[in-house]
Structure formats: C-alpha cells, structure tokens
C-alpha cells in the first residue's frame, strides 16, 4: 500500500503516467478523447498527449478520429506475467480441481492498494455478472478475497486502510458501514476465512481463505463462489472449506518451490 512519500529518488514520473494511461481504459471507457484521458489519469492534457503519442508509437494505443483506444499489443504485458509467474502450471490446477469438484468458479487474488486484483481464475459459469478474469480488480472491502487479504494486514496497515476507505454501495446489500466492515474483517481474521453474499454484484455468494508464505504472512487469497439462491455461505463453509484450505496449502508449497511465484505474491 505504497504512497507518494515512498517513491525512490530514481522514480520515473513519465513512465508512471504512461502506465496510468493504459490502466485508464476499461469496459466503461473503451475509447476516450484526450481530455477524457487527462481527467481519468488526473494529469494535464499536455502530459496525457505526450503519453498517448509515446504509447501509439510503441503500438499499445490506437486512434480513431479524436478518440483513443488500446491495441492488442497491450495483451503482451498480461501474458508476460501469466507465463513468468507460471500461473498455468502452479495456480490453475488447484482452481480447476475445485471447479471440477463443486462447479461454479474459483479464483486467486492479491491486494493492490484498496483493491483486490485477480491473478488466476477458472469458471464454468456463463451468467452475466462481475467478471473475475485475470487482471480484473474490484474494491477489496466488497469481495471475499479482499476481506481475507485485509484480515491478514498488520494492525497499523489495516487501521490506515480503514481510515482512507470511502466505500460505495455496489448493490443494495453492499456493506458500507466502516464499523461493520471492521467487524466482518475481524471475524475473518479469527475464523481464517471470509464469506460474502451479493456484496460485489447480485448473484455472487463466495468463500475465501488465505494463502500464507513460509513466515505466515497472508500474501494472496483463494476463493470459491456460487450463485446466490442456489448456495448459502453455510453450505460453502460446510462443503468447500476443507478443500479450499488444502488447495491454499498446496499453493503455498508451490510458492516455496518456485521463487518467482513467491516474489510475485509477496508484499
């Protein structure tokens, strides 16, 4: 959870702005004008223009009329992570086994600031709902993965996160009361797992457990989710918790065996 005061002396501001421009494009903003990019990234139009020109020259951004969009070359950045962290070999087998056993979906995620970012996902679901594809990011407070990860933070870091938090309701059931959220995360810490129902999107009931490194630090989380109305949190805990914990332990073992994966997941 790094802030500007922790930036090293060699920090390259122009590179940071260029990466922020790439991250500004999403499902709600597939195309943007120069001024829209500048507002999304919170930079001047001149700075946004320099970043866009550079990214266009490198093949990461294209332009149609006066609107900018991402180009397929951007996918090379995500695939580089996928292959260097050996997600296919070291994470997906456990997710596939969980889905083969219970159906529905399973994911691995890690904390990135106030969000949880999904680094692996497997699903048999076809319903229209919040996507958990690799690279997707959502507010940590509203996901089972995020709550487990927040429960693993040192006390001072969690207090700082809670102080900064400005939760917004994503559904009518989203908990946005900070005291209630703190209690839920404390419960997750005590139980060693977290459950959520319709917090991020309607139709998602999920159970998550921590993935810990050799020092006992929570570095990632693993979850299994199903359709609200077809499965309850109590059923997830009763049926799936042992398998999730076994899978989390196996992934932790893989981390120790493959240092790059450990480096990827470690804070």
Ordered per-residue pLDDT tens for the chain, 267 residues: 445 556 788 889 999 999 999 999 988 899 999 999 999 999 999 999 999 999 999 999 999 999 999 998 988 888 777 777 777 788 899 999 999 999 889 999 999 889 999 989 998 865 545 556 777 889 999 999 999 999 999 999 999 999 999 999 999 999 999 999 999 999 999 999 999 999 999 999 999 999 998 889 999 999 999 998 899 999 999 999 999 999 999 999 988 888 777 777 776
Domain 4-75 fold is Arc Repressor Mutant, subunit A (1.10.10)
Q: Which two tokens stand for residue 7?
A: 């930036």
Only one residue has tokens 């559904």, namely: 171
Nearest to 227 by CA among 203, 195, 196: 203
Of 162, 168, 163, the C-alpha closest to 139 is: 168
Residues of the chain with CATH 3.30.450.40: 85-265
Question: Does the pTM exceed 0.95?
Answer: no
Q: Which fold has domain 85-265?
A: Beta-Lactamase (3.30.450)
Where along the chain do the CATH 1.10.10.10 domains lie?
4-75
> Which 8-state DSSP code applies to residue 236?
H
Q: Give the Cα separation of 264 and 166 in Å (integer).
A: 28
């Amino acid at each position: 959870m790094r802030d500007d005061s922790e930036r090293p002396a060699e920090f390259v501001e122009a590179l940071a702005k260029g990466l922020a421009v790439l991250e500004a494009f999403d499902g709600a903003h597939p195309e943007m004008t120069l001024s829209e990019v500048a507002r999304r990234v919170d930079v001047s139009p001149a700075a946004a223009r320099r970043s866009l020109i550079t990214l266009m020259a490198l093949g990461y951004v294209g332009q149609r009329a006066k609107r900018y969009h991402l180009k397929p070359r951007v996918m090379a950045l995500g695939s580089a992570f996928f292959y260097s962290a050996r997600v296919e070999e070291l994470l997906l087998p456990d997710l596939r086994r969980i889905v083969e056993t219970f159906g529905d979906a399973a994911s691995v995620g890690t904390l990135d600031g106030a969000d949880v970012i999904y680094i692996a996902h497997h699903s048999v679901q076809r319903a229209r709902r919040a996507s958990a594809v690799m690279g997707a990011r959502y507010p940590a407070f509203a996901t089972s993965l995020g709550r487990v990860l927040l429960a693993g933070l040192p006390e001072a870091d969690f207090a700082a996160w809670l102080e900064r938090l400005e939760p917004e309701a994503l559904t009518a059931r989203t908990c946005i009361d900070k005291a209630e959220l703190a209690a839920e995360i404390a419960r997750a810490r005590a139980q060693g797992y977290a459950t959520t129902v319709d917090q991020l999107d309607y139709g998602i009931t999920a159970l998550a457990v921590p993935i810990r490194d050799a020092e006992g630090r929570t570095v990632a989380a693993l979850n299994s989710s199903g359709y609200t109305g077809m499965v309850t949190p109590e059923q997830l805990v009763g049926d799936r918790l042992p398998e999730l914990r076994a899978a989390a332990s196996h992934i932790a073992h893989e981390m120790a065996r493959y240092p790059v994966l450990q480096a990827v997941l470690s804070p």
